[in-house]
Amino acid sequence: MEVRIDPSAGFCWGVVRAIDFAEKQLSESDKLYSLGEIIHNMAEVNRLGELGLESIKVEDFSKLKPGSKVLIRAHGEPPSTYKEALKYGIEIIDATCPVVAKVQERIRKFADNKFQVVIYGKKDHAEVIGLSGVTKDQAIVVLSVEEALESVNFSKPTVLFSQTTMDKETFKAIANTLKEKIEQLYIGSIEDEAVEFHAKNTICGQVSGREKRLRDFARSNDVIIFAAGKKSSNGKVLFDIAKEENANTFFIEEVSDIKDHWLKDAHNVGVTGATSTPHWLMKKIKNYIEEHFSSNDSLKL
Ligand code: SF4
């Protein structure tokens, strides 16, 4: 049996950077707060928790001692969070992913220029709350073409952005629909000037190339062990993609979730996961399978 770790799986660099920030702080002091879980992966949250990282909400700022350090994770935060931190004398360790920070900046410029901002993303997702926050929560957040058609005012200058982890095809469909609708209205109107419309594809390259690589990896193994946190939306999407390519794809959170019968006839096992799955966990899974199966059926790995 050969066990391989998917080379394209694991943390994106924005998350690696946030964890580096946390580890550096925790090497200097034994307490650091994080606004929300630093990553949607309980194994990693627990590991950092043992070093002194504790997840809190903005509402908890008032209970912290002035001077306490609070880490902003890769998803970023709305401007109101920074204001609250200032109010309570909290020191912010800002690990907002530079890609997300750049998107916030671009949205801010359009909002300042009185554009109607439309964001393709999930309303309750931390990144979208941050992106919408820079528009003073005036952005229209949509998940589909239908939602965009229902909520956008086509007579206003409009710009469309995307949450960084969304699907490219739906973004294109929303962009094309809005563009067509605005053009139709312009052609039918007696006004001279067309309403301005821009579509800014802000889907992160770390995410958009992953699907094809995952499909190839899933096809090239007999069994796929997919490790991710149950709360990870990226994990759910990627698991379904792997399962489409290989019916013998199994979702686990921890090594102890692995069932022997999944692997008994496999010659090649692929270990993969979401962008929030730590590399050390995939290594642990690989080691477990290698040790367990070499002793069970004396297959040398
Ligand atoms: S997926 Fe991209 S934008 Fe999001 S945290 Fe990772 S590197 Fe940054």
Which of 46, 40, 92, 48 has the alpha carbon at shortest distance from 71?
Answer: 92
Per-residue pLDDT of the chain (301 residues; tens, 9 = 90+): 899 999 989 888 899 999 999 999 999 998 999 999 998 888 889 999 999 999 999 999 999 999 999 999 999 999 999 999 999 999 999 999 999 999 999 999 999 999 999 999 999 999 999 999 999 999 999 999 999 999 999 989 999 999 998 888 899 999 999 999 988 876 666 556 678 999 999 999 887 788 889 999 999 999 999 999 887 777 888 999 999 999 999 999 999 999 999 998 899 999 999 888 889 999 999 999 999 876 554 443 3
Which ligand 1 atom lies nearest to the CA of residue 164?
Answer: 3
Residue 128 has what pLDDT? 97
Active-site residue, from 127, 169, 244, 291: 127
12 lines ligand 1 (CB under 6 A): yes
Which of 114, 205, 128 has the alpha carbon at shortest distance from 163?
Answer: 128
Going from the C-alpha of 134 to that of each of 44, 71, 147, 151, the distances in angstroms are 30, 19, 22, 19
74 lines ligand 1 (CB under 6 A): yes
Residue 188 has what pLDDT? 60
Q: Which element (helix H / strand E) includes 94? A: strand 91-94
What is the pTM assigned to this prediction? 0.82
Domains annotated for the chain, with CATH where assigned, are 2-9+208-297 (3.40.1010.20), 13-97 (3.40.50.11270), 99-163+168-202 (3.40.1010.20)
Q: Which element (helix H / strand E) includes 218? A: helix 210-219
